[in-house]
Amino acid sequence: MPALELTDPSVIPEIAKGVRSTFLTHKTRSIEFRLVQLRKLYWGMKDNANAIEAACKLDLGKGIYESNLSELNFCTSTLIYDINNLEKWARDESSPDVPIDMMVLRPKIRKDPLGTVLILGPYNFPVNLLICPLAGAIAAGNTAVVKPSENAPNVAAVMQKVIEGYLDQSCYRVVQGAIPQSTALLEQKWDKIFYTGGASVGTIIAKKAAETLTPVILELGARNPAIVTKNADIRLAARRLLWGKVHNAGQVCISQNYTLVDKEVFDRFVLETKKAMKEYYPNGTRNTEDFGRIVNNRQWQRIKKMLDDSQGQILMGGDMDESDRYIEPTIIRVSSLTDSLITEESFGPLMPLLPVSNLDEAIRIANEVHATPLAMYPFGNKTETDRCLAEIRSGGASVNDGFMHGSLPTLAFGGIGDSGHGAYRGKASFDCFSHARTITSTPGWVEFLMAVRYPPYEGKMKMIRRMELKPDFDREGRVKFSLARYIVGLGATSKTGGLVRYLVVILAALGLKQFFML
């Protein structure tokens, strides 16, 4: 295991200057260069798999299975997906809905790299949530500086070994450290800052970035609700929500923070959760490879205090050992929205349950506790889950499951409101580190068509009026029926629909012609 060496804050300005200078040489604009870097990063992950597994075990108590499922395999799958799709993503796009008289300008949208970006990683998934944003930054053609979380020091050291050993060091650098190093990094000018972590630090980063009008991607936590109605499959709901709180010892930003359970099925839900717990861990969670540990003693004490301050009743679990940073998965029945387990994000294996009378009450509580959570998990019939999706905002949602929407590396992932800004993963990672640059090319021979824009303007107003789009609705917002448009468009409601119908008619006519010629 490599030793972690903190970066001297005084050298950080030179590091940032170096990677910015490289970007200005246009070295990273080449698609082939980006592909080579992504391929090398893939092999860096594969070649150091054993070290990554060992580091995850030391920092978070993760077993080999979890380290591969949500760290290594997630990253390598992301890299392969990016490699396979990069050329397609990077192509110029033709601009949609261009007026016929403007097509001569050949408008297009080019995906330009932003420049030099800063990526600040978290401790809970210290490999996944550092490498996946970096892959997006590389794919989009940026240079980057990354800072792994100091709270997962062993993983941070291995990540530095991978990045320095496999990537071009003139383009991609690693800074190690805590507050002094982060402060020095935020003093530099970046073209985008990507941060994953808590809202308090995210607020500091956003304020500092605002001083230089630097855009930010903030992937934050939240008090995410789960809702279990009386029509839900209670056994499945219990199994799936329990998994959401035992995976990574509950240190998952998108796992449910609390669960609203219909009173009619509350006792059964608790019983099924206990059954699932016994099935998952026949010999308990204390001495199994399949259950992790809290990252450090400070976080362990924070979670313990939340439980100590709660007025709720423990229905399962509750065992703790600070020397081992162990907290047993714990179910708590709470009765108040002011309970510490509701008002704060636990980020641990605590599973507070709040009985509710009906879905109306559940939706009201979910919106009251946190109006814009990172995720939401409704369990019930389709009418009920559709209503939850319509009436509760969230960054993402998994219907009848626990955080599966965040487990797919090809889907865009991000928060809403105070649970985060922006999205990444899959093509969204490429897009969030790219600038969609609109480009037109005006040939000289069209100058006579441009005369309308030049002074003097006398006598040109009629031409402008003819170019203006006309509404198909009245002053009350009602769509006006046009018989002529209906006939010309063959009943279609859009130009595209009309063209498709004309094409169908033409093909049908040609088919009939061939038929009668036989």
pLDDT digits (tens, 9 = 90+) for 339-373: 999 999 999 999 999 999 999 999 999 999 999 99
- Catalytic-residue membership of 75: no
pLDDT score for 125:
97
* 3-class DSSP assignment, residue 296: coil
134: closest CA among 436, 435, 425, 437? 425
Angle at 440 (CA atoms; ends 437, 444), nearest 5 degrees: 155
How many CA atoms lie less than 13 Å away from 122 in the CB half-sphere? Answer: 24
Q: Which residues pair with 468 in a beta bridge?
A: none
Residue 167 tokens read as 């990537």
Q: Which two tokens stand for residue 330?
A: 């714990």
Tokens of 324: 């081992």
What is the SS3 assignment for 408? coil
**Of the listed 56, 75, 253, 432, which one is catalytic?**
253
State the pairing for strand pair 326-327/320-321. Answer: antiparallel
What parts of the chain have a pLDDT lower than 70?
A: 101, 484-486, 488, 493-495, 512-513, 515-518
Query: Which letter does DSSP use for residue 4 in this model?
Result: P
Options 53, 66, 71, 219, the catalytic residue = 219
Cα 18 to its chain centre, rounded Å, is 29
Is residue 219 annotated as a catalytic residue, yes or no? Answer: yes
Q: In the numeric block, which tokens belong to residue 157?
A: 């050291």
The CB density around residue 346, as the number of other CB atoms within 10 Å, is 27
Query: Does the N-terminal peptide bond of residue 456 adopt cis geometry, omega within 30 degrees of 0?
Result: yes
pLDDT at 518 (0 to 100): 60
Crossing angle of helices 153-166/128-139, nearest 10°?
30
Q: Which of 145, 139, 119 is nearest to 130 (CA)?
A: 119
What pLDDT sits at residue 176?
Answer: 98
pLDDT of residue 276: 98
The answer to whether 425 and 410 are in contact (CB under 8 A) is yes
Q: How far apart are CA 463 and CA 452, in angstroms?
A: 8
Q: Angle 31-47/73-90 helices, nearest 10 degrees?
A: 170
Q: How far apart are CA 205 and CA 518, in angstroms?
A: 75
Give Cα 107 to chain centroid, integer Å: 30
What is the structure's pLDDT at 516?
A: 66
Structure tokens at 259: 């669960």
